[in-house]
Amino acid sequence: MSECQFDPTIIAFLCNWCTYTGADLAGTSRIQYPPNVRIIRLMCSGSVDPTYVLKALLDGADGVLIGGCHPGDCHYESGNYKARRRIIALKEILQAAGYDEDRIWVRWISASEGQRFADTVTQMTQAMRDKGPNPLRREWEV
Amino acid sequence: MSLSRVGVYVCHCGTNIAANVDVARLAEFARSLPGAVLARDYPYMCSDRGQALIREDVSEQALDRVVVAACSPRMHEPTFRDAVRQAGLNPYMVEMANIREQCAWVHDDRARATEKATRLVASAVARAVLLEPLEERQVDVEPGVVVIGGGIAGLAATLTVAEAGYSAYLVERSGSLGGRVRELDRTYPTLDKVQVVLRELVSRVAAHPNVTILLRSSVTSVDGCVGDFTVEVKTRGANLGEGVDASRDSQTLVVGSVIVATGFDPFDPRRKPELGYGQYPSVITTLELEQRLAAGDLGDNGAAPRRVAFLQCVGSRDVQVGNPYCSRVCCMVVAKQARQLRGLMPDAEITVYYSDVRTFGKGAEEFYDETRAQGVLYRRASVSEIVRSQNRVRLVGEDTLLSRAIGVEVDLVVLATGMEAGADSASLSAMLRLQRSPDGFFLEAHPKLRPVDTATAGVYLAGCCQGPKGIADTIAHAKAAASSALIPLLRGSVQADAATAIVNPALCANCGLCVEECPYGAPALDPFRGVATVNALLCQGCGACAVVCPAKAISLQHATACQVLAQVDALMA
């Protein structure tokens, strides 16, 4: 069945200090996870502009992961709180427009949580596979 | 804009990358990318030869940007920035694609890993095309170090800094130096008097002209960056003698590096109430026995105990109390104390109840063997409860080798309590932007290659604040931290990150949202020009301001919206 074979693409915006380093740790620990995630390294989750997320969705990403430091552990004091506030607002707008806001995941993963990063990608890949392709991909394809 | 000329270098990393990613195909693909003028694959890009390859191509092929598809940029970005700098390019004209940690090492399927790697390289090239040269700032390094914590780690680090000829400020919370080690009797495996060792170290530190000791003091804030930290220290009740006031005077120290040596807290065995600590006077901790041994008085009203039980792993290797890790010292502490008791009470029955014995390190296993040879019994057991039995206590549990129930009456139980992260590590981690591992101890920058560095440049870890250690390991760690902390001081200047926020005054409407968003006060409104400006010395480069700017007048250099969106496009192409 074609639905079972659907292979989602996930764009991840990860902060340099925690989640990106956690992803590196998953690598040095050789923890395997699906290759569906494609990572963009930013200095802070607080610098994730909601337009980046929209751009990824409009480009056809089936899921967008925003990874930052745990609350209270931000390298820049409060960037992760800013990210949380912005993404909640973005999700509400998307929801109001009838779009499945659960394609956007925000997760706090520290530099020491390689396993948690791998688990998150594994879970998200499965969740996006279950949802099927991002409908925006079809609409925007000419 | 003239067309950019990007050179792409795909690293095999021996077989680390090449085993799971088709590097030749990846290089071939890279040649097809817009902006790329050449692509090569090479066994080790970080080697001298690999870097020379880049330098040669930059001059012969007139490259203006470089993409290296290799390990994490957290590993070798500085290496390749140096390489392109030597080739005459701006060091910010290099971009890395992380195809090792985030690709080859985590995906077994070679075809799919190669496919993912092509997207990562496409993303890096798309971003590289849009990179702009940035002006690097040199920051003069203040020739001093603040050491937080006056235990054995802080003392050793302070002395190393001072002996190298730099000022060391030792900030200690309590009224005396030495920390936890002040409570110890003898070292293992050499059975030296700890206080003799400590006294010598303290007197050398105290007598050193480069050392300033601040007792009853705590660090209240740390600002700035490597080379130029401003550390506020508050001292409590400096002059209580005259009864004038408990004046809380504070002072500001300006230093190049900071060493964190805040130690550990011993596990409080009251968190395991089944062991009866705090309830029965004959249940004590290894730390308390150490004090009794130091005082030469075993307590119990002079009646020497006839039967003594040691319990290993109290608060360590115990998921129930949230400490899955080994505290590393308890096995040897117990072997040493059991040996000391054996010497004091040749007729007593001394048994160590353990789950595994871990006596690693120089001379440690030999010491443990000798302890057993001297008649200390080791019994592999799981002790579930300690209950009162007339004027003794009764150990209840299971012998895990014989699968047999244990019920033994003893006169003295010694709990080998483990180490925990200090109670103040949460507030310190916020102040110094330090990361912590799940066990609560501070996280080093790399478990193997950077054991004393942290994610914050210029801040180093010494001793048990990073994880449990014995005295010898603590001093080795502290001296390593001091050596690393001296590197920026010896250089005299460091390069500050040039990736700061910048304002395009033509777009700025002077609304002030960036000023509100910044935690460092870097942007300010210029009342004369009617636009925002950024103080690059204060900007830490987080990029939060760029998100809130309605006109997109302010942007974070080296992470502009253009660059990020180009990456998204390339990843989704």
How many of the other CB atoms lie within 10 Å of CB of A103? 25
Say how far residue A49 (Cα) sits from the centre of its chain: 13
Given an 8 Å threshold on Cβ–Cβ distance, is A75 in contact with B109?
no
Given an 8 Å threshold on Cβ–Cβ distance, is B103 in contact with A20?
no
In sequence order, what are the beta bridge partners of B415? B285, B311
Find all residues with CB under 8 Å of B83, minimum gap 6, and list them.
Answer: B51, B54, B55, B66, B94
Class of domain B501-557: alpha beta
Q: Provide the strand spans (E) within A21-141.
A: 37-42, 63-68, 104-108
Rounded to 5°, the CA angle B182-B183-B189 comes to: 90
What is the DSSP code string of B66-81? EEEEES-HHHHHHHHH
Chain B residues inside the 8 Å CB shell of A61: 568, 572
B424 token code pair: 């103040």
Instruction: Point out the residue among A21, A38, A46 whose CB comes nearest to the CB of B116.
Output: A38
In sequence order, what are the beta bridge partners of B436? B442
**Segments making up each domain of chain B, as ranges:** 6-134, 144-263+422-493, 283-291+304-411, 501-557
What Å distances lie between residue B246 and B178, B213, B217, CA to CA?
24, 19, 13
pLDDT reported for residue B538: 82
Given an 8 Å threshold on Cβ–Cβ distance, is A76 in contact with B105?
no
Chain segment A81-116, per-residue pLDDT in tens = 999 999 999 999 999 999 999 999 999 999 999 999
Given an 8 Å threshold on Cβ–Cβ distance, is A47 in contact with B430?
no
**What type of residue sits at position B36?**
A
Q: Computed from CA positions of residues A112, A118, A119, A125, in that sequence, does the dihedral angle turn out positive or negative?
A: positive
Given an 8 Å threshold on Cβ–Cβ distance, is A86 in contact with B455?
no
State the count of interchain CB pairs (< 8 A) between A and B: 146
Instruction: Point out the residue among B429, B443, B542 whose CB comes nearest to the CB of A111.
Output: B443
Q: Provide the strand spans (E) within B172-256.
A: 211-214, 217-225, 228-235, 249-255
Q: Is the backbone peptide bond immediately before B189 cis, with ω within 30 degrees of 0?
A: yes
Which residues of chain B, if any, have pLDDT below 50?
Answer: 1, 239-246
ipTM of the complex: 0.96
User: How close A101 comes to chain B (CA, Å)?
Assistant: 19
CA distance linking residue B384 with residue B381, whole number of Å: 9
B238 token code pair: 């400096």
Say how far residue B113 (Cα) sits from the centre of its chain: 32
User: How close B23 comes to chain A (CA, Å)?
Assistant: 17
Same fold, B144-263+422-493 and B283-291+304-411: yes
Given an 8 Å threshold on Cβ–Cβ distance, is B572 in contact with A17?
no
Find all residues with CB under 8 Å of B511, minimum gap 6, and list them.
Answer: B550, B551
Q: Which residue has the tokens 């777009």?
A: B507
pTM of the model: 0.83
pLDDT reported for residue B154: 98
User: Residue B422 in contact with residue B465, Cβ under 8 Å?
Assistant: yes
What Å distances lie between residue B76 and A95, B53, B81, B95, CA to CA?
42, 16, 9, 11
Angle between helices B48-60 and B73-86 (to 10 degrees): 50
pLDDT reported for residue B246: 47
**What type of residue sits at position B554?**
I
Q: Which residue has the tokens 């925990």?
A: B420
Find all residues with CB under 8 Å of A138, minimum gap 6, and list them.
Answer: none
* Closest to A63 measured CA to CA, from A110, A99, A113: A99
Q: Quick one: DSSP state of residue B132?
A: -
* A71–chain B Cβ distance below 8 A for any pair: no
Say how far residue A90 (Cα) sits from the centre of its chain: 14
Chain B residues inside the 8 Å CB shell of A35: 103, 106-107, 109, 112-113, 115-116
CA distance linking residue B416 with residue B285, whole number of Å: 6
Chain B residues inside the 8 Å CB shell of A46: 542-544, 547
Given an 8 Å threshold on Cβ–Cβ distance, is A42 in contact with B72?
no
CA distance linking residue B508 with residue B317, whole number of Å: 57
Q: Does domain B283-291+304-411 have CATH number 3.50.50.60?
A: yes
User: Residue B162 in contact with residue B259, Cβ under 8 Å?
Assistant: no
CA distance linking residue B122 with residue B127, whole number of Å: 9
Buried/exposed B317-348: b ≥16 CB within 10 Å, e otherwise: bbeebebebbbbbbbbbbbbbbbbbbeeeeeb
Q: Does domain B144-263+422-493 have CATH number 3.40.30.10?
A: no
CA distance linking residue B563 with residue B554, whole number of Å: 14
> For the structural domain made of B6-134, what CATH number should be given?
3.40.50
Chain segment A27-48, per-residue pLDDT in tens = 999 999 999 999 999 999 999 9
* Mean local confidence (pLDDT), A64-77: 91
CA distance linking residue A135 with residue A127, whole number of Å: 15
